[in-house]
């Protein structure tokens, strides 16, 4: 957040498509950070501890976002979303 409380929050939380107020979002981010220090990479464990099926950290418009869901399956860190039109992801030879 910018000085004086102006602008958009830098930490946000969305639960099943509904954004939480900034104070609640910051409290969840604090819990998330502490949990992840103790359980590196255990997104599913944190989601379950909070009563959800999954949580997905994202970056959106310069802010950190935790997206919780009661129905969406858990994915690990660094699991890219499939891109339409891309094959098996094999390496291509570079033409010069």
23 φ/ψ angles, rounded to the nearest 5 degrees:
-60, -45
CA nearest neighbour of 46 among 16, 66, 23: 66
Q: Kindly list the strands in the beta sheet with 18-19, ordered across the sheet, starting from the edge strand earlier in the chain.
A: 18-19, 11-15, 63-69, 54-60
In a domain, 82, yes or no: no
Summarised one tens digit per residue, pLDDT across range 21-75 is 999 999 999 999 999 999 998 999 999 999 999 999 999 888 999 999 999 999 8
Least confident of 10-14, 34-38, 90-94: 90-94
DSSP 16: T
Work out how many domains the chain is built from and give that number: 1
In a domain, 21, yes or no: yes
Structural domain of 52: 9-69
In a domain, 85, yes or no: no
In a domain, 34, yes or no: yes
pTM over 0.85: no
In a domain, 2, yes or no: no
In a domain, 14, yes or no: yes
In a domain, 88, yes or no: no
């Amino acid at each position: 957040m910018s000085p004086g409380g102006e602008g958009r929050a830098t930490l946000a939380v969305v639960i099943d498509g509904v954004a939480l107020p900034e104070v609640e979002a910051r409290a969840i981010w604090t819990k998330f950070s502490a949990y992840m220090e103790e359980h590196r990479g255990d997104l599913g464990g944190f989601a379950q501890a909070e009563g959800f099926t999954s949580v997905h950290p994202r970056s959106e418009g310069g802010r950190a976002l935790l997206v919780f869901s009661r129905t969406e399956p858990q994915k690990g860190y660094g699991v890219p979303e499939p891109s339409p039109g891309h094959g098996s992801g094999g390496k291509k030879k570079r033409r010069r």
